[in-house]
Amino acid sequence: MAGTAPRADLWVVVEHPDGWGDAALARATHGVRVVLARGSRADCARARAEGRVRVWVADASGAEPSLRVGHVRDPADVAGWDLAVLAGGGWRGWGRPEPEPLLLVCANGRRDRCCGHAGGRLADELWAGRADAGRVLTSTHLGGHRFAPTALLLPWGVLHGRLDLPAADAILDQARAGRTPPATLRGFSTSAAPAQVAEAHARRLTGHAGLAPLPVALAGDPADGRLRARVALPTGAALDLALVRTVVDRVASCGRAAQPVEHWAVVD
C-alpha cells in the first residue's frame, strides 16, 4: 500500500449531511484537497436542525500540523472558496482550533462499491463502540479503493488502508500518543509517492512509529524511472535507498477491469 496516499498539504472537510451529489465541491488543486463528509445519523440530524454545517481545515504541512473548525450555512458556500488563496495561508484564523484528531473513513459508494459497503460498515462499528464517536466521519474519495476500507487521519494527513475495527481504533488511540500503526500505512499526503515508499520502508526496517513523517530527500529525475532517496532517522543517522518505478496491471476500483498502475518500489 505504500506510496498510494493522495497529495495534499491542506485538507478542507465539508460536512454534507444530505448526500454527496454535488461533486463540484470535492476538488483538488494548489496542494489543497476538498472532501465531503458526514457523521452518524444523530450528527446529520443535528446539522439539519441547526441550519448550518461544519467545515474543518487541516494543515498537514510543517512541524506542527493543525486542525480548525468553523461553520457555513450551506455546503455549497465552500464552492466559491479560492483554493489558491487557501494554499497561501488564507485559511488562518478560520473558525477555532480543534485539539482532537479527526478520522475520515471513505464510504463513497458511487465511486467504488467496496468503499461504500466496507467503509460504511466500519464507520457504523466505530460510531457504535467509541466514546469519541463524533471524531469519526465518512467521506468522499480518498483513493486506493483496492485497499478498502481506507481512512484519513487529520490534521497529520496520514492515509491508511485494509482496515478492520481494531486497526481503525488503533489509529485514533495511538494518535493521542504521537504514534501511527505501520501495518496499515499508505503514506503521508504531504509527500510524493516515491518519498512515501522510502519512508514506509525505513519504518519497517527501524520500527519507527512516530506520527510525523520522516524527512526524505529525493535525487534524480522521476521521468527516468529511478530515484535515490535519503531518509533522515530520529537517531541522526540516514538511510540511503534506491527506488524504481514499475507499471503493473491492477484492479484500482471494485468491480472494474484491471488497468496499468504506476508503482514505486525499493530495490536495495
Q: In whole angstroms, what is the distance from residue 265 CA to residue 211 CA?
A: 22
One-letter amino acid identity for 176? R
Q: In whole angstroms, what is the distance from residue 76 CA to residue 14 CA?
A: 9
Reading the chain (268 residues) residue by residue, the pLDDT tens digits are: 999 999 999 999 999 988 776 556 889 999 999 999 999 888 888 888 888 999 999 999 988 999 999 999 998 899 989 999 999 998 888 999 999 999 999 987 566 566 667 888 999 999 998 999 999 999 998 888 888 899 999 999 999 999 999 999 999 999 999 999 999 999 999 999 999 999 999 999 999 999 999 999 999 999 899 999 999 999 999 999 999 999 887 766 666 677 888 889 999 7
CB atoms within 10 A of CB 49: 8
DSSP string, 70-136: EEESSGGGGGG--HHHIIIIITTT-SEE--S-EEEEE--TTT-HHIIIIIHHHHHHHHHH-TTGGGE
Please count the residues of the chain: 268
One-letter amino acid identity for 200? A
Q: In whole angstroms, what is the distance from residue 145 CA to residue 158 CA?
A: 16
User: Is-above-0.85 flag for pTM?
Assistant: yes
Domain ranges for the chain, please list them.
10-175, 191-266
Q: Which of 171, 195, 50, 46 is nearest to 103 (CA)?
A: 171
Q: In whole angstroms, what is the distance from residue 257 CA to residue 255 CA?
A: 7
249-257 long-range contacts (CB < 8 A, ≥24 apart) are 250/146, 251/146, 252/145, 252/146, 253/111, 253/112, 253/114, 253/145, 253/146, 254/112, 254/113, 254/114, 254/115, 254/145, 254/146, 254/148, 255/113, 255/114
